[in-house]
A and B are shown apart, each in its own frame.
Chain A
Amino acid sequence: MRNQSKFSKLISIEGVVILTAFVLMVIFFSLKADSFLIPDSIRYYINEAVPIFIIIVGLTFVIIAGGIDLSIGSVLGLSAGTSLMVSMWGWPFWVAVIVGVSTGLAFGLLNAVIITIFKVNDFIVTLGTLYIAAGSLTVLTDKVQLTGTEDASFQRISDLSFLGLTSSIWIAIVIIVVFELVLLKSPFGRRIFATGIGEVPALISGINTQRTKFVAYLISGGLAGFGGVLLASHLNSVQSGLAGGYELTAIASAVLGGISLAGGRGSVWRAIVGALFLTTLNQGLLLMGIDPLIFQIVTGLCILIGVIVDRGVYKFTLTFSTQTREVNSRSRDGEVVSS
């Protein structure tokens, strides 16, 4: 009995499951693929994944507040297009950054207004804006050839090297740390958690839940815009369909990191570990010579496995680590029926 409670205590520490899985996977791949642990290759694929890390931060806010944002992927693509276009017109790099971030903010605002003011299902609204943003990028690339800017300072935003890492990795680290602190230490972060745990209790205790959600969608849109700027600066060319499907990867990462899609549970670093897990898995499979076309299947399966494992662990810790076993099992049952 004592043993079991120790094990359940360990497993109930946030993020232990995904970290263990991550470490095991790294060990597996380093034995299987020789070039897996070369620092250059690690730096390379992490650098490629930076835009995804950045949109996951925003998505984490939205999911913890009890919402969902599917539009982030194509908003990121569109922002990459607009910022590169402005840079190609000869504007200085900071104007391009502002334009890219504003594009993201505009879509965040659109989502936020329709979801919180008109009270429409968040999932459908962001699916609609996903197609609007993706379509806008198609129209934009039809009109303008976004083949690259001559402005070197725009390209330097992402590719400057500092202490062995590129500037986009440093920017991602700063964003992750700042937003994690905001989420965990600031009153706004506590309002996000309260809104996600239960809108009615949060409302009763004086939290403006709709405004909290509104800001969460704005953050998600703004970060998607900034991620787009980094991607445009890194690739220096934008085609139609860029970053389509990133939302699938982002949701999979959040789910793998144990962020509850019901809201109210999670943190930024766990979602990032989820993203590291997914990108490392893809890289490892690639180095083992497996067809990259299979990655989408892997991502989809990871979403399912992540949700199932998370529910299992949550149920397990509820049943074994607390004294109020029957109360919990009853409340879980009610939840299953209502969902």
Chain B
Amino acid sequence: MTPNSAVDNSSNSLRNRVLQDPSFGIVSLLITVIIAMTILEPSFATSGNVTNIINAMMTVSFLAIGMTVVLIAGGLDLSVGSTMAVTAGVAGKFIAYGMPMGVAFMWSLAIGVGIGLINGLLITKLGIPDFIATLAMLGIGQGVILFWTQGVPILGYMNDAYYYIGGLEKIVGPISVPMIVVVVISVVMAIVLKRTKFGLELYAVGSSPISARNAGVNTHAIKISAYAISGLFAAVAGIHIAGRTTTIPPLIGKGYEISAIAAAVIGGASLLGGKGRIIGALIGALTLTLTRNIINLIGIESSWQAIVTGSVLIAAVLANRASAGFSRKRLRRMNT
């Protein structure tokens, strides 16, 4: 083998790596849309609008990261939206009662993890199908927050520190607390997924629970931890959104589960388990938030949002299937 061919090979592999990246299609679409919007719509690339997009993206990002972990383990968590509402309610109410902020947040996070643990136990130990268990949990969570607040939005918990946590006040320039939290969580979770035994076991359980069990993986423990992680990030999202919206309507979490699933699926996670990346979840969250922002900017009323989110979800799942079929075909062609 000559050195020349080796260089050739490596540049080829770099190009291949970019082209064969699972998120290549969606990222190029995003870049095209961003360039087109910058040219066509003067109010799109303003600093105010960009801040808006990033702020709105944070909530979905937290939920999508948790959802990705659950999807990798071969599960599905529908309760994230209502867990977010409950934990936001806990943080808001407890602070309004006069509890120190840190303690209230600890309660919030603990309750998020607790809901995740209950989900995981119901699914693994009692054998309830994952979407039924988490759908029931969605109903229970929503009922709890409705009953607790009696349908009245929670007020009176905002203080100076909370404006920073919600991202309404910036630390330095455009950098806000939620951005730092998202970056830290993403880096940590990406390392956990790619570099640790736990991450490997997550992918193994999602790809094939029986082989994972035969290989000595404690599948139940792995699945329960996946749901606990999802509950934890739902609580983080709850603490964040309470600061972003400055009031907590009881139905604040409604529809967030569908955004989280859509973001994770756009980012390459599969409902069959064993696939998914943290960077994909972030790309998915950005896609959803951009879509909503563009809808608002080009003058479509906000009542269309639910329709668009639902359509994006179905389109993402369809595209996911199509691309899986495509790469399978290409693989077959390369083998023959």
A interface residues with partner B (beta carbon < 8 Å):
68, 114, 118-121, 123-125, 127-132, 134-136, 138-139, 142, 240, 245, 248, 251-252, 255, 261-262, 291, 293-301, 303-304, 307-308, 311, 336-339
Residue B150 at the chain A interface, CB threshold 8 Å? yes
- Structural contact, B143 and A127, CB atoms closer than 8 A: no
- Chain A at the B interface: SS class: helix
- Structural contact, A124 and B143, CB atoms closer than 8 A: no
Residue B317 at the chain A interface, CB threshold 8 Å? yes
Chain A hits for B135, CB < 8 A: 248, 251, 303
Residue B252 at the chain A interface, CB threshold 8 Å? no
Chain A hits for B133, CB < 8 A: 304, 307
Closest to A140 in B: B303
Residue B313 at the chain A interface, CB threshold 8 Å? yes
Give the Cβ gap from A140 to chain B, nearest Cβ, in Å: 9
Q: How far is the CA of A313 from the CA of B127 in the complex (A)?
A: 14
Give the Cβ gap from A78 to chain B, nearest Cβ, in Å: 11
- Structural contact, B313 and A131, CB atoms closer than 8 A: yes
- Structural contact, A293 and B140, CB atoms closer than 8 A: no
- Structural contact, B140 and A130, CB atoms closer than 8 A: no
- Structural contact, A300 and B321, CB atoms closer than 8 A: no
Stretch at the interface among B20-28, B237-245, B304-312: B304-312
Chain B hits for A311, CB < 8 A: 126-128
- Structural contact, B136 and A301, CB atoms closer than 8 A: yes
Closest to A245 in B: B139
- Structural contact, A338 and B209, CB atoms closer than 8 A: yes
- Structural contact, A300 and B143, CB atoms closer than 8 A: yes
Q: How far is the CA of A311 from the CA of B306 in the complex (A)?
A: 36
- Structural contact, A120 and B317, CB atoms closer than 8 A: yes
Q: A127-B261, A307-B132, A339-B129 are in contact. List 10 more A-B contacts (CB 8 A).
A: A120-B317, A124-B261, A127-B258, A129-B314, A293-B150, A296-B146, A303-B132, A304-B133, A304-B136, A311-B126
Residue of B76, B301, B306, B317 near A131 (CB, 8 A) is B306
Give the Cβ gap from B278 to chain A, nearest Cβ, in Å: 21
Residue B37 at the chain A interface, CB threshold 8 Å? no
B interface residues with partner A (beta carbon < 8 Å):
76, 122, 126-129, 131-133, 135-140, 142-144, 146-147, 150-151, 209-210, 213, 219, 255, 258, 261, 265, 271, 301, 303-311, 313-314, 317-318, 321
- Structural contact, A124 and B313, CB atoms closer than 8 A: yes
Give 7 pairs: A residue, B residue, CB < 8 Å, sorted on A: A68-B131, A120-B317, A124-B271, A125-B314, A132-B307, A134-B306, A261-B129
- Structural contact, A304 and B209, CB atoms closer than 8 A: no
Q: How far is the CA of A138 from the CA of B210 in the complex (A)?
A: 45
Q: How far is the CA of A310 from the CA of B84 in the complex (A)?
A: 30
- Structural contact, B306 and A251, CB atoms closer than 8 A: no
Residue of A118, A297, A338 near B318 (CB, 8 A) is A118
- Structural contact, B76 and A300, CB atoms closer than 8 A: no
- Structural contact, B304 and A135, CB atoms closer than 8 A: yes
Chain A hits for B219, CB < 8 A: 337
- Structural contact, B301 and A297, CB atoms closer than 8 A: no
Closest to A70 in B: B135
Find the residue from B142, B143, B150, B213 having the highest chain A CB count within 10 A.
B143
Give the Cβ gap from B78 to chain A, nearest Cβ, in Å: 8
Give the Cβ gap from A304 to chain B, nearest Cβ, in Å: 5
Residue of A294, A303, A336, A338 near B136 (CB, 8 A) is A303
- Structural contact, A121 and B128, CB atoms closer than 8 A: no
Give the Cβ gap from B160 to chain A, nearest Cβ, in Å: 33
- Structural contact, A339 and B127, CB atoms closer than 8 A: yes
Closest 4 CB pairs of A and B: A135-B306, A296-B143, A131-B310, A300-B139
Chain B hits for A142, CB < 8 A: 301, 303
Q: How far is the CA of A304 from the CA of B219 in the complex (A)?
A: 22
- Structural contact, B321 and A118, CB atoms closer than 8 A: yes
Residue of B139, B142, B313 near A127 (CB, 8 A) is B313
Q: How far is the CA of A296 from the CA of B306 in the complex (A)?
A: 22
Q: How far is the CA of A146 from the CA of B127 in the complex (A)?
A: 45
- Structural contact, A248 and B139, CB atoms closer than 8 A: yes
Give the Cβ gap from A5 to chain B, nearest Cβ, in Å: 26
Residue of B127, B147, B255, B317 near A297 (CB, 8 A) is B147
Q: How far is the CA of A293 from the CA of B152 in the complex (A)?
A: 12
- Structural contact, A255 and B140, CB atoms closer than 8 A: no
Q: How far is the CA of A128 from the CA of B310 in the complex (A)?
A: 4
Give the Cβ gap from B26 to chain A, nearest Cβ, in Å: 17
Give the Cβ gap from A148 to chain B, nearest Cβ, in Å: 21
Chain B hits for A307, CB < 8 A: 126, 128-129, 132-133
- Structural contact, A304 and B147, CB atoms closer than 8 A: no
Q: How far is the CA of A251 from the CA of B135 in the complex (A)?
A: 10
